[in-house]
Amino acid sequence: MRNAVPVLTVVAVIFALWYGAAVVLNAPWAYDKAKRADVTLGFSELVADTWSQDKPKLPAPHQVAVEIWNTTGEMIKDGRAFSKRSLIYHAWVTFSSTMLGFLLGTGLGIALAVGIVYNRTMDMSVMPWVIASQTIPILAIAPMIIVVLNAVGISGLLPKAMISMYLSFFPVVVGMVKGLRSPGPMQLDQMRTWNASASQTFWKLRLPSSMPYLFTSLKIAMAASLVGAIVGELPTGAVAGLGARLLTGSYYGQTIQIWSALIMAATLAAVLVGLIGLMQRITLKRMGMAE
């Protein structure tokens, strides 16, 4: 709570800058219109115009807010929450492939991490490649994966989820390997003195100690998964999803549409990452690991 005032101040400054930038960026078009209509613009008219253009270079925050309301709340009131023009529908499409990819990626990541921790050959063979692959701009493959999977008859949710999975499993592998290895030699020796089996050591020591690491990587994985889903919607001329909204918006110069999709994506990211943060707090608290 101590941070509330500073954070609100910063946010207020951001909004002020946003409004200011909208005036500056949209002014040329406003002057252009005024010139053709043969009127001269006073300052207040200029500001009013720059904050209400149809296709502004930078829409003012309230324009975006109105657009978001029109495509969400308004449509719910009309009972068309899942019509193709509704942002809720597009967010839902992106959300489902994000979640599917996230779950697949997390599963794969944890499995791989367990393999790496327990199998020396796998550790030395695979781990360097996992780390190296993080340095490769994986997203470049996105369009190809979608086309290839389409060619073998897989379409819809799964190709996008594959990209999300690909992006989200790296942080999970790296975090889980670190976490499963976090028990010190003393704790492992302790287990040995009790003659604990490998699976007992895993369930009673290694897995619980890895929880803080797991949640930290899950947050990164979730954010990455969402990016994957959005980018996965770009190249194929997909018609649904927040990425598709971004793309059609950019084709037709619908800046307000782009910004509302962007804000929606940001909200989605914040909610999803926030949910994992909540799960983290509850879990760690029940395990007695939270501070």
Partner 1 sequence: MMWVVAGLAAWALGWWLNHVLSHRPRTRFTRLAVPVIFGLTIIVVWECIVRGFDIPTVLLPAPTQIAARFAASTGILWQDFVQTAIKGALTGYILGCGAAVLLAIAIDRSPFLKRGLLPVGNFVAALPIVGTAPILVMWFGFDWQSKAAVVVVMVFFPMLVNTVQGLQDTEAMQRDLMRTYAASYWQTLFKLRLPAAMPFIFNGLKIATTLALIGAIVAEFFGSPIKGMGFRISTSVGQLSMDLVWAEIVVAALAGSGFYGGVALIEKAMTFWHPSQRGRA
* 1 binding partner 1? (CB under 8 A): no
Residue pair 221/102 in contact (Cβ under 8 Å)? The answer is: yes
> Left (φ > 0), alpha (ψ -120 to 50) or beta: where does 157 sit?
alpha
Binding mask of the shown chain, residues 28 to 57, with x at each position contacting partner 1 by CB under 8 A: -----------------------------x
**Crossing angle between the packed helical segments 43-50 and 4-36, to the nearest 10 degrees:** 110
185 binds partner 1 (CB under 8 A): no
CA dihedral sign, ordered 281, 286, 290, 291: positive
**Residue 171 CB neighbours (<10 A):** 23
What kind and span of H or E run contains 169? helix 157-180
155 near partner 1, judged by CB under 8 A: no
**Could you say whether residue 3 binds partner 1 (CB under 8 A)?**
yes
Under the binding rule (CB under 8 A), the answer on residue 121 touching partner 1 is yes
Identify which range of 10-18, 30-38, 79-87, 105-113 contacts partner 1 by CB under 8 A: 10-18
CB of 191 to partner 1, least distance (A): 23
Half-sphere exposure of 137 (CA within 13 A, CB side): 3
- Which of 20, 73, 128, 184 touches partner 1 by CB under 8 A? 128
For residue 40, what is the DSSP state? P
Which of 219, 198, 201 is CA-nearest to residue 277? 219
Question: Cβ of residue 245: shortest distance to partner 1, in angstroms?
Answer: 10
Distance (Å, whole) CA 7 – CA 266 = 17
* Interaction between residue 173 and partner 1 (CB under 8 A): no
Query: Which of 151, 189, 286, 288 touches partner 1 by CB under 8 A?
Result: 151
Report the site for partner 1 in 207-236 (rule: CB under 8 A): 219, 223, 226-227, 230-231, 234-235
- Distance, in Å, from the CA atom of 99 to the CA atom of 138, rounded to the nearest integer, reads 19
Total residues in contact with partner 1, by rule CB under 8 A: 62
Residue in this structure with the two tokens 């499995």, named with its chain if needed:
111
Return residues touching partner 1 (CB under 8 A): 2-3, 5-11, 14, 25, 57-58, 120-121, 123-129, 132, 134-141, 143-144, 147-148, 151-152, 219, 223, 226-227, 230-231, 234-235, 242-243, 246-247, 249-250, 253, 255, 258-259, 261-262, 265-266, 269-270, 273
